[in-house]
Copies of this chain bind each other. A is one copy, B any other.
């Protein structure tokens, strides 16, 4: 599991960290039930504050990606990630909307946009190769 953070980015570190972990789950590099590093060790690894890691973990817990046990530490939700419901699809749509609008303005047609999406699906949906 590699974590790549951009400390210059406008995107908060804890959000980047969340995305990286979600991506790890999507790629199945992180499997349901699998343990994640403790807040302290991950913070030390990445070279950030443990509170920042904790914030990412708390949010991921909130969204059902992980479970946090007081002693055992942090694990990927063993029951799998909560499946998309209507609320999620709406949220997705609202996040996609400005991307589509700007792309239209810039002359990116639907096929090109879908190609980018498809490539991402192919890259991220691949199972871990050992």
Interface residues of chain A, those whose CB is within 8 Å of chain B, are 7-8, 10, 12, 19, 22-23, 25-26, 62, 65, 67, 69-70, 72, 81-84, 88-89, 92-93, 95-108, 110, 113-114, 116-121, 124-125
Partner of A70, one of B12, B101, B116: B12
Inter-chain CA distance A106–B113, complex, in Å, is 21
What's the nearest-Cβ distance from chain B to residue A13, in Å? Answer: 9
Given contacts A114-B118, A117-B117, contact A65 B105 (CB under 8 A): yes
Count the copies: 4
Partner of A110, one of B65, B92, B101, B121: B121
List residues of chain B with CB within 8 A of the CB of A10.
Answer: 70
List residues of chain B with CB within 8 A of the CB of A8.
Answer: 67, 69
Inter-chain CA distance A75–B31, complex, in Å, is 40
Partner of A93, one of B89, B93, B116, B121: B116
Partner of A83, one of B81, B93, B101, B106: B106
Partner of A107, one of B7, B84, B101: B84
